[in-house]
Amino acid sequence: AQTVTQSQPEMSVQEAETVTLSCTYDTSENNYYLFWYKQPPSRQMILVIRQEAYKQQNATENRFSVNFQKAAKSFSLKISDSQLGDTAMYFCAFMDSGAGSYQLTFGKGTKLSVIP
């Protein structure tokens, strides 16, 4: 079974600064997908970024980028120029591309607070 670990329960960052959220995972699979989801107080889970394991290039979406280290099974999220609207819970998630149901396995989340 896959596991996802987020070792930082809470983090804070000053507005306009950069912050990195950590995520490690454990799997014996070679083909899989990784995701970062954001959950603001509204409860709505919003996709931030996704990465295919077969791609060496790190995914980037505007101010959000990842550092994907496949050998180390690490998938960190970097948020640049942090904004107040980035305040939320952030969840790292794993999807085994060979599994029948393609369910997501989530970490426990990191609560990010952006300070004005």
Q: By CB under 8 A, name the binding residues for other proteins.
A: 4, 33, 35, 37, 42-47, 50, 52, 91, 93, 95, 97, 100-109
Residue with smaller CB distance to other proteins, 15 or 61:
61
Rounded to a whole number of angstroms, the minimum distance from the CB of residue 19 to other proteins is 20
3-class SS at 85?
helix
Q: How far is the CB of 110 from other proteins (least distance, A)?
A: 10
Report the amino acid identity of residue 21.
Answer: L
Residue where the block lists tokens 């591309």 = 97
Q: Phi and psi of 109, rounded to 5°?
A: 95, 155
CB of 17 to other proteins, least distance (A): 26
End-to-end, the C-alpha distance of the chain in Å comes to: 41
Which of 46, 48, 44 lies closest to 62, judged by CA? 48
Kindly state the smallest distance separating residue 76's Cβ from other proteins, in Å. 17
Residue (15 or 102) nearer to other proteins, CB: 102
